[in-house]
Structure 1
Amino acid sequence: MADGLATSADRIESVRFGHYAVPLAFAVSDAKVATGRQRPLSQIDVLTCEITTADGLAGLGFSYTTRAGCRAQFAHAKEIAANLLGEDPSAIGAIYDKLLWAGASVGRSGVATQALAAIDVALWDLKARRAGLPLAKLLGSYRDSVRVYNTSGGYLQAPAEEVAERASRSLADGIGGIKIKVGQPDMKEDLRRLAAVREHLGDDVPLMVDANQQWDRAAALRFGRAVEELGLVWIEEPLDAYDAEGHAQLAAALDTPIATGEMLTSVPELVRLIDLRGADFLQPDVPRVGGITPYLKVAALADHANLQVAPHFVMEIHLHLAAAYPRDSWVEHIEWLSPLFDERPVIEDGRMLVPDRPGLGLSLAGQAAGWRLDAAEFTGRL
């Protein structure tokens, strides 16, 4: 390699980005909506990246945003894309550093690295496809399936009876656990709703709750003590996402495990959470933390600290990473991005199966073109 460019025919020849607005079947509300901080969520914006090499191989990656930010990701991706042309696509670490420095003036977290995430995922997908392996196998999987829980049926806009009915449907479809949203202005309503769902499901069904950063430390402690007898798998984001000390205090005070980390957008932020023991279940998010490359750094540190990992959202990516984590993880089943792809995950007996297709095993669906808001392509060799 000279000046960072591939010396063989194996080089990046084109990079194509797309901005898609994927509509949800119905708008959903969590604690941030219930307390007036955000509007109901009605679509997911997705930044896709397709990388093609001189020998005709291709990789597909994506990032996402909710409510705002994807246009900024798209713009940043376009600004740094030319740095990919001519590079050896297997030199993922070197490419990552090169792209970080290309956008160094806007930092190493947030929009900058979230745009980079789509590129990084595409490179890992390409590498696994070249090897003829599912990404999980390329990374060194520990298992061929991962425990799966459903979130999309448990949002606050639905009454408890509807949440319970959807939970039953999810279990009938083979999903192994259920997560519901909490964090309403009246905590008593949360407790009533949660008790009703627990009674409906029975004591043996794994049940999680997610407060979406609703409470202060005192309120979170009251809630945690009030639900100890329900045997929850975890309480998710009880506090502001950046309150690592507060999460650590809760984790130490409660028998119920604490889960958090999905909103953090850099490795140092997640490392601080690990160091303070602020989560029993760490929840990194590949698109938010900047791609698979930084995610793997976080996962290695979490394993060293003997933590469970339950990556947030994007089951299409996280299935592979959870299968490659030493401890049996949970993957979150939310079907919002499924219409973008031709393939669907296979779920059996409470577990999501790692596909045997190379890479992520995904291809963009024909109907995705109807949701595309913008596109850009870069070709050639510098």
Structure 2
Amino acid sequence: MSSDRITSVRLSSVLLPLPRPISDAKVFTGRQRPMTEVALLFAAIGTEQGLAGLGFGYSKRAGGPGQYAHAAEIAPELIGEDPSDIAKLWTKLMWAGASVGRGGLAAQAIAPLDIALWDLKAKRAGLPLAKLIGAHRDSVRCYDTSGGFLHAPVEEVLTNATASLESGIGGIKIKVGHPDAGVDLARVTAVREHLGDDVALMVDANQQWDRTSARRMCRELDRFGLTWIEEPLDAHDAEGHAALARAFDTPIATGEMLTSVGEHRELIRAGAADVLQPDAPRIGGITPFLRLATLADLHHLKLAPHYAMEIHLHLAATYPSEGWVEHFDWLEPLFNERMTISDGRMLVPDRPGLGLTTSDKTEEWTTDSIEVR
């Protein structure tokens, strides 16, 4: 039996300002306002033996204060527990807040705590997280998203794409879902011509099309040799996504907006995704992510985790078939370390755990914190 016990949990609410307002299709169709900041929830877990684990989750637009409040309520459940019993502790945390559900904000509040426990366990073993779990590869193909938003003129998107490829990134994703389908097709045409046929190109509609529009657009987009078409429909429309996956050659990717393994299971049952895009901070952490990855592999699906490359690089490296990790530079100011990218791939760090330490900026942007002992 391990003699180590959890003695402290520190939670920090962090508000990360973005350099410029970000707009995707949800802004152009009036559903949301431009995004100007990202709310993050950091968890630092300490033990009797002096070990420390770091985890984080996030919320875009509303939800950050709610995640922080829920995590503060359930964090005392960890005090005195063996930090190696991660699956047991995930279940304990989930049941502590079960009256508000097993997905959504309740799951997202658990994620930083769960991720911190995995970070701590890998540090105890002296291994990168991917190696602790069991890696299939030491690097993962990566594509860039942050340079292809709809608010950027197409000339800027082309410039950003060139810069990404020159930095070693292997693929480019751009946003679509503009109210004018002609604008979408013109932008995709320009980017494909700029990149050539050999560079991986993905598009992301951010759930903006109805079923009729999605069929029309997927038919048009089939000719561009895309790596995938992402979220052409509402994230919960498993039946609609499945129909598109059956009808068109271009793979359909979805799953980033779902907040539980159960919701992803419905996608898989329906055959709604050729490429599954789970997000560990959204579904409750690494523990449920690994359960979902096993299910996805049994159904022969590709895996391309959404956002949070600092976490998902490790997880994508453990998936049996080759997938993709999404390069987003938004979170880089929060950490002292940087991901290494070369020849279209992101390399798994050789540092123990996630291999991350928080920067001075994280402390500067902290709006609230609490320590539980």
Q: TM-score range by the shorter chain?
A: over 0.9
Q: Determine the structure 1 residue equivalent to 2:137.
A: 143
- The Cα of 1:9 is off from its aligned counterpart by 3.4
* 1:42-81 alignment runs, 5 A limit: 42-81=36-75
Question: Distance between the aligned counterparts of 1:107 and 1:30, measured in 2?
Answer: 29
SS in 2 for 1:247: helix
Alpha-carbon deviation of 1:8? 5.1
Offset from partner CA, 1:302-333 (integer Å, 9 cap, x none): 00000000000000000000000001110000
Match of 1:98 in 2: 92
Gaps of 5+ in 1: 1-6
Corresponding position: 1:375 with 2:356: no
Q: Equivalences for 1:271-290 in 2 at 5 Å?
A: 271-290=265-284
Q: Which residue of 2 aligns with 1:227?
A: 221
SS for the counterpart of 2:10 is strand
Q: Structure 1, residues 232-251: CA drift from partner, whole Å, max 9, x if none?
A: 00000000000000000000
- State the SS of the aligned residue for 1:227: helix
Amino acid of the structure 2 residue aligned with 1:69: G
- Gaps of at least 5 residues in structure 2 are none
Deviations 1:136-186 (A, max 9, x none): 001100000000000000000111111011000000000000000000001
Q: Distance in 2 between matches of 1:94 and 1:193?
A: 49
Q: C-alpha distance in 2, partners of 1:315/1:332?
A: 6
Q: Counterparts of 2:41 and 2:86 in 1: how far apart (Å)?
A: 19
Instruction: Measure how far apart 1:361 and its partner are.
Output: 0.2
What is the distance in 2 between the residues matched to 1:139 and 1:333? 22
Q: Say which SS state the counterpart of residue 251 (structure 1) adopts.
A: helix
Q: Scaled by the length of structure 1, what TM-score is found? A: 0.97
Counterpart of 1:10 in structure 2 is 4
* TM alignment of 1:276-315, pairs within 5 A: 276-315=270-309
Deviation at 1:369, TM superposition (A): 1.2
Letter paired with 1:358: P
SS of the equivalent of 1:79 reads helix
Superposition map of 1:103-142 within 5 A: 103-142=97-136
1:227 CA drift (Å): 1.5
1:171-223: CA deviation from partner (whole Å, max 9, x where unpaired): 00000000000000011110011101111111111000000000011111111
TM superposition outliers: structure 1 runs of 4+ over 3 Å: none
CA distance in 2, matches of 1:233, 1:227: 11
- Root-mean-square deviation (CA, aligned residues, Å) is 0.7
Q: How does 1:80-95 map to 2 (within 5 A)?
A: 80-95=74-89
Q: Give 1:254's aligned residue.
A: 248
Which residue of structure 1 lines up, in the alignment, with residue 260 of structure 2? 266
2:146 is matched by which residue type in structure 1?
S
- Residues of 2 paired with 1:33 and 1:125: CA distance? 36
Take 1:125 and 1:74, find their aligned partners in 2: how far apart are those partners?
20
Q: 1 CA distance for matches of 2:332 and 2:20?
A: 15
Query: What are the Cα deviations for residues 36-55 of structure 1, in whole angstroms up to 9, with x where unaligned?
Result: 10011111110000000000
Give me the whole-angstrom Cα distance separating, in 2, the residues matched to 1:28 and 1:202. Answer: 27
Superposition map of 1:289-368 within 5 A: 289-368=283-362
